[in-house]
Amino acid sequence: MENMEINPEQLSAIQNKAEEGDAEAQYELGWRHALGMGAELDDEVALQWLARAAAGQHPLAQNNLGARYYSGDGVKQDILEAYLWFYRAAAQHDRKAAKNRDAVFKQLNEAQKQQARDILGPELQRG
């Protein structure tokens, strides 16, 4: 991760990489907008970039998105969705996500657990 303070040219370079599909740049842009660190504080923009990074298999973005779904921070609270993102991050050896996944799994009811198995299907076979 780059320095906390950046200049407009550096932010522009990160934005360009993010728009080209670089998951690390997407994650960085997301957290910068979430915290207002070198980028405009904008939770909606932050969520868009975090979601793109998470879809691009970025484990920190996946864990962050899971935490947002768990708490309802900027999104509709959904513990099943939180579990799915924690699971995906944990599958990439993110220890914090593994702890989050295990804690949230205990809160799912049987129907939600079955939904998770149905959604994750092949991922569960590999995990």
- 107 and 78 in contact (C-beta within 8 Å)? no
Domain check: are 63 and 124 in the same one?
Answer: yes
pLDDT at 2: 46
Q: How many domains does the chain have?
A: 2
Domain check: are 71 and 121 in the same one?
Answer: yes
pLDDT at 125: 55
Domain check: are 77 and 27 in the same one?
Answer: no
Could you report the average pLDDT of every consecutive run of 10 residues in the chain (127 residues)?
A: 76 97 98 94 96 97 98 96 98 97 97 95 64
Greatest Cα pair distance, the chain, in angstroms, is: 50
pTM for the model stands at 0.90
Last residue of a domain, one of 56, 86, 103: 56
pLDDT at 127: 45
Domain check: are 65 and 94 in the same one?
Answer: yes
Domain check: are 87 and 105 in the same one?
Answer: yes
Question: What are the residue ranges of helices labelled H in 2-72?
Answer: 8-19, 23-35, 43-55, 59-71
Domain check: are 10 and 29 in the same one?
Answer: yes
Q: What are phi and psi of 92, to 5 degrees?
A: -100, 20
Domain check: are 86 and 122 in the same one?
Answer: yes
C-alpha pair distances (Å), 22 with each of 26, 60, 97, 114, 126: 6, 14, 22, 33, 25
Domain check: are 35 and 67 in the same one?
Answer: no
Domain check: are 71 and 36 in the same one?
Answer: no
- Domain of residue 9 covers 1-56
Domain check: are 63 and 114 in the same one?
Answer: yes
Spatial distance between the Cα atoms of 21 and 73, rounded to a whole number of angstroms? 25
Domain check: are 68 and 25 in the same one?
Answer: no
pLDDT at 5: 82
